[in-house]
Amino acid sequence: MYKTFLMSLAIIQWSCLCSTDEDRLLADLLIGYNKMSRPVFKPYQPVRVKLAVSLREAIDLNEDLGQVKILIWLKMIWKDFHLNWNPEQYGRINRVFIPPDAIWTPDITLYNAIHSEPDGDRNHLKLSVLYNGEATWIRPVTYSVTCKHQFRGNAWLCPFTFGSWVYTSDQLEIHGEKRKVQINDEQFLSSDHFILLGHEGKREPYGFSDAVSFIILFCHWFIRHVVIIAILSRPTRIGAFDPCFLHSCSESSEEVHLEQGFCRSSLE
C-alpha cells in the first residue's frame, strides 16, 4: 500500500514537472518574439522553405466552367533561429507544438487559385518545432483552379503555381522537400472517376519571387465519367512524360488511350 502511494506520488510529481518544463520552454521561446520579422540572422539572408505537396483527393471537375476542385495538403519546413533550445534544460523536451499565429510563418499561396477553402481553423492546425529550430507546418486546403481544354475536348490542362505573396526570392527561397520538387500521392483517395498516373514538379522564377509549379492533365472519359490525372511539370514536353506510355483504360467498346503524352478517345 505504502509502495503504491509512493509510486503514485512520483508519477504525479513527474507529470507536474513535465508540464512545468513545457510551460517554461514555451514562455522562454515566445517572450519578445516578433512574428512580423523574418527569422534570419541578417536582413539580406533568405528564409529557405521546403515545400511538399500531397495530393489527397480530386473532388470535382466542372466542364462548363473549365474548373477543377482538388484537396491538397501543403507541408512547409523552415528554420527559425529564435526557436532553438537545449532539451537538457527543459526536461529533455525536444519538440513542441505551437499555433501558427504565434510565430512567423511563410505566406505561400496558390497564385492561380479561383477559390481556396482551408480545412478547419488556421490556428487549430498547430505546427511542430524541434529543438534545433526546425518548424514543420501541414495545411489541408481545397483549391479550385481554371483549366484549359486540350486534345479535342477530352482533356483538361490545369496549372498549380505556389509562391510567396509578398516576399521576393532574396527574402524567401522555395525548394522541394527532397532534392527535387514533387507531389506525394501515397495518400491519394482513388475512385471510379479519378485515376492518378504520375507526377512531376519544378522550381522556377515567378516575377520577383520563387515559385513551385505543377501541371495536372485530366483526361476525361465522357461515357464512363472516368478522369485520368497525370501531373506534369513542363507543358512543352508533355510527350516525354513516361507514365502516359504505361497506362490506359478501356472497357467494352469505349477506349481512352494515352499515347505520346496526348489523350484521345475512340469508339469502335
What would the pLDDT profile of 211-264 be if each residue is shown by its tens digit?
A: 665 554 444 333 233 444 444 444 433 333 333 333 333 333 333 333 333 333
Residue 150: pLDDT band (50, 70, 90) is low
Q: Please indicate whether residue 209 or residue 76 has the higher confidence score (pLDDT).
A: 76
Residue 35 pLDDT exceeds 90: yes
| pTM given for the model | 0.72
- In what helix (H) or strand (E) does residue 243 lie, and over which residues does it extend? helix 243-246
Is pLDDT above 60 for 18? no
Give whole-number Cα distances, 213 to 183, 192, 235, 244, 255, in Å.
11, 27, 11, 19, 31
Q: What are phi and psi of 31, to 5 degrees?
A: -65, 125
pLDDT band at 119 (very low <50, low <70, confident <90, very high): low
Given a contact cutoff of 8 angstroms between Cβ atoms, the answer to whether 72 and 55 are in contact is: yes
pLDDT band at 125; cut points 50, 70, 90: confident
Cell of 151: 486534345
145 closest CA partner among 156, 132, 130, 131: 156
Please give the pLDDT value at position 30.
Answer: 96
pLDDT for position 213: 58
For the chain, domains (ranges, CATH) are 32-193 (2.70.170.10)
> Do the beta carbons of residue 195 and residue 226 sit within 8 Å?
yes
212: left (phi over 0), alpha (psi -120 to 50) or beta: beta
pLDDT of residue 182: 67
Percentage of residues of the chain with pLDDT beyond 70? 59
Is pLDDT above 80 for 173?
yes
Confidence of residue 64 (pLDDT cuts 50, 70, 90): confident
Residue 136, pLDDT score: 98
Please say if the pLDDT value at position 82 is more than 90: yes
The answer to whether 145 and 68 are in contact (CB under 8 A) is: yes
